[in-house]
Structure 1
Amino acid sequence: MKATVSWQQALTFSGQTESGYQQTMDGNGKAISPMESVLLAVGACSSIDVVDILKKRRLTVHDCECDLTAERAEQPPRVFTAIHAHYKVKGDNLSDKDVDRAVALSAEKYCSVMLMLKGNVNITTSYEIM
């Protein structure tokens, strides 16, 4: 996997992946910040897992939303110290056992972004079936 980040102006940078996708990031709040990108990556990566795991179990999923809350260190570098991911899953006949298992498998085994942060960031999860 490769990507290129290019300075545009002031503290604005444009990133492009080798697959051709682009993202603008900024250090002055004029676009998504790099830390916001990491937080979104946690939620997207894990949500992909949750939906995929439930679908592989032949369950019908209508919606999955992941609300993320992060805490950062007070002093530089202002790394994440804790992230909580709360999943809101809607589907047909979903049980607590099904969703709990999918969330746990994502956090403990499949979500590469969460696993990359593990050991440095306290990551917790919760869920509700809508």
Structure 2
Amino acid sequence: MQIKVEWSQALKFVGQSSKGHQVLMDGNGGTEGASPMELVLMAIAGCSSVDIVSDLKDAKQKIQGCEVDVKAERVESAPKVFRKIDLLYTVTGTDVDARLVEKAINASMNKYCSVAKMLEATVQINACFEVKAV
């Protein structure tokens, strides 16, 4: 895996993957792009969602949506690392088994999500969920 980050202007940077996908990062409070720390939160939510949706589809669950609301707390002084990350997964579908959702989330957090595994030694990560019928 390889990426490139290039300074654009002010405190804005463009990250580009080896496949050409680009992300604008804004180190000035995130006014024109996501901040690098916001991208970390998107990464844990995205990484775990891939696992969860994949597991639920493999279990033949009739899911139609998976959304993650993430709230995080950072320490007060530099480096302002995350202290706590709360993830709330909302899975929508027809006859979705809550036990399978819980199992998929636990498997992701404890085994498969690379981002969560990197962060778990220094960050309290809490994951909860709700299932909504459609």
- TM-score, with length taken from structure 2: 0.94
Alignment of 1:5-44 (within 5 A): 5-28=5-28, 29=30, 30-44=32-46
Residue type of the alignment partner of 2:39 = S
Deviations 1:21-45 (A, max 9, x none): 0011011122110000000111111
Give the distance between the partners of 2:119 and 2:104, measured in 1 at CA. 19
Give the distance between the partners of 1:87 and 1:116, measured in 2 at CA. 20
Give the distance between the partners of 2:130 and 2:60, measured in 1 at CA. 19
Residue type of the alignment partner of 2:25 = M
C-alpha RMSD over aligned residues: 0.8
Alignment of 1:56-95 (within 5 A): 56-95=58-97
Q: Compute the displacement of 1:13 (Å).
A: 0.6
Give the distance between the partners of 1:67 and 1:95, measured in 2 at CA. 20
Unaligned runs of 5+ in 2: none
Identity of aligned residues (%): 44
Residue type of the alignment partner of 1:7 = W
Unaligned runs of 5+ in 1: none
- TM-score, with length taken from structure 1: 0.97
Residue type of the alignment partner of 2:15 = G
Q: Is the 8 A contact 2:61 2:97 kept in 1?
A: no
Kindly tell me the number of residue pairs found equivalent between the two proteins: 130
